[in-house]
Amino acid sequence: MSVRTRFAPSPTGFLHIGGLRTALFCWLYARRHGGRFVLRIEDTDLERSTEAAIQQILDGMEWAGLVADEGPFYQTRRFDRYREVIDELLAEGKAYRCYCTKEELDALRAEQLARGEKPRYDGRWRDRTDARPGVQPVVRFKNPTGGEVVVEDVVHGRVVFQNAELDDLIIARSDGSPTYNFCVVVDDMDMNVTHVIRGDDHLNNTPRQQNMLVALGRKPPVYAHLPMILGADGAKLSKRHGAVSVLQYRDEGYLPEALLNYLVRLGWSHGDQEIFSIEEMVRAFDITDVNKSASAFNAEKLAWLNQQHMMRAEPRRLVEPLRWQLQQLGIACDDDAHLEAIALAQRERAKTLKEMAANSLFFFQPPADYDEKAVRKHITVESIAMLAEAAARLDRLDGWDAALIHAVVNEVATAAGAALGKLAQPLRLAVCGGTVSPPIDATLALLGREESLRRIERALARWRA
C-alpha cells in the first residue's frame, strides 16, 4: 500500500513551530515515498475551535508550502460516520453505556488519588445492561483487561504498555458527540493513513488507539512519535517563550525554506549538512533517522540559516517580501528590478528581510541627518576637497555603473595620496547618512547619478559651512 501521512491540528490556537515541524515531517515523508499527505482539522471541541484559527493554520501551511494532497477534512462534518461506528461497537459488545455521573467519577478519582493510585475508571458499568433513568449515558470502549499492548514506534522503538494500566475511555459524550481519541482512530482508518507521525505527547494515547483499531478489525499504522520542541530556555514552548504563529516569522522577514530548514534539523540530521533546499530535504529525509530527545529552539541559528537562504535564493524571490517589508516602513516601490538589485546588494548584510528593508531606506530617501560621530571622524578639509573632485568627475562620467564609479573613486583618492577608505567613507556618509552600506561603487550605482550627485552636493554644502 502506498504511503499516506496526515497532519491533524486542532484549531484551538495558532499554528506554531511545533505543529509546523510535525506537518513538515509528514509532508517530507509522503513526498519522499511518493505518497499522499492529508490534512485533517480536528475541530470536535466546539467550545474552543474557531474559524479564525482554521484560516490561520491554512494560511501558515500555504506560506510554508506544505500543500496537502487531500483535505482539509473536518471532523465536525463526520459526526454521522462516528455515530455509525459507535453503534457498531455497541452492537458487537465492544463498547457499552456508562451511566456514571460526573460527581461519581470525581469521587472515584479522588479516592484513587488518595490511595496513591493512578486515577482511572473502574469499569463499573462494563457488564451492566440496565439503564439509569434521568442520566444521559456516555459510551465507553471496552479496553482489554489483561495482557500488553506493544507499540512499535519508528523513533522510540518498542514501547510496551500493560492493558491493566488503561481504562475504558469515553468514546461518546452524554450528548452523543464523539471524543478525540475515538475520532482519530476512525479517521485514520477511513483515510487509510499508513504512517501516523505526530508529537510524542501522544505516545501515551497510542495504546488505546491501537486497541480500538484492533477492535475495529484493522491493523495499526506505523507510528512515529517526534520529540518536542522546547523554548530557548529549555522549558516547554509557551506563549511567553517562542510559541508564536508561523505567520509571525513571515512578518519578521524569514523565508519559509529557511524556517523549514531550521525545523528539519531539530531532531534530524544528514551527515554534516546544515543547509538544505526543499528538494534536498525531500531527498535526504528519513523518519527512521529522527532523534528521541527534545530540542530547544535557537533563534540565532534560525537567523543564520535565513541569511544563508537569502544568499542562495533566486534574487527574484526576494522582491515581494522585501517590497512588503518596505511598505511597513512607509516606502512604496513598484520597480521590481530595482528591488531585486537592492536585495542582491544587501543580502549578505542582513539576517532577515525586515532588517534588509530597514538597512535600505537610504535607497529611497535622502538621509535626514548625518551620523555625527562619523562626520567628526571622516569629514576634513582634505576629504571635502576629494568629495568635490569626485563629484565633478562623476558628473562627467560617460555611463553609470559600479566599475566606472569605482575607477573614479580610486583615481581621486590615489591622486590625493589617500587610501580608498579616506574617500569611500565620506562618500558613504554623504549619500547614506551613516557608515554602513554595500560597497560604495555599488551603492552609488544603485542610487543613480542624479540622486548621488544631489546628495553629495547637499552634504558638501552642509559640511563646508
Partner RNA sequence: GCUCCCUUCGUCUAGAGGCCUAGGACACGGCCCUCUCAAGGCUGUAACACCGGUUCGAAUCCGGUAGGGAGCGCCA
Site residues (CB under 7 A) for RNA, limited to 444-463: none
Q: Residue 226: helix, strand or coil by DSSP?
A: strand
In the complex, what is the shortest distance from the CB of residue 12 to RNA, in angstroms, rounded to a whole number? Answer: 7
Candidates 77-85, 87-95, 223-231, 389-397; binding stretch for RNA (CB under 7 A) = 223-231
CA distance 83 to 92: 14
Verify cis geometry, omega within 30 degrees of 0, for the bond prior to 72: yes
The helix (run of H) or strand (run of E) holding residue 260 is helix 256-264
Task: State the Cα–Cα distance between residues 147 and 203, nearest whole angstrom.
Answer: 19
Among 3, 205, 331, 418, binds RNA (CB under 7 A): 205
CB of 332 to RNA, least distance (A): 25
Q: Pull the grid cell for residue 312.
A: 542562495
Interaction between residue 365 and RNA (CB under 7 A): no
**Site map (CB under 7 A) of RNA, residues 127-166, x = contact:** -----------x-----------------xx-xxxx--x-
48 belongs to the binding site for RNA (CB under 7 A): yes
| Burial group, residue 402, by CB count within 10 angstroms (0-12, 13-18, 19+) | middle
79 binds RNA (CB under 7 A): no
Only segment of 41-49, 253-261, 317-325, 386-394 that touches RNA (CB under 7 A): 41-49
**Quick one: which of 296, 333, 344, 388 contacts RNA (CB under 7 A)?**
296
Catalytic residue among 219, 239, 292, 377: 239
CB of 118 to RNA, least distance (A): 4
DSSP E strand boundaries for 95-232 = 95-98, 138-141, 148-153, 157-162, 170-172, 195-199, 222-226, 229-230
Q: Which of residues 386-445 bind RNA (CB under 7 A)?
A: 406, 419-421, 424-425, 428, 435-442
Can residue 110 be called a binding residue for RNA (CB under 7 A)?
no
CB of 298 to RNA, least distance (A): 4
Stretch that binds RNA, among 79-87, 119-127, 240-248, 334-342 (CB under 7 A): 119-127
| Residue 50 lies near RNA (rule: CB under 7 A) | no
Catalytic (active site) residue 239: yes
Rounded to a whole number of angstroms, the minimum distance from the CB of residue 451 to RNA is 18
- Identify whether the C-beta of residue 17 lies closer than 8 Å to the C-beta of residue 238: no
Which positions are annotated as active-site residues? 239
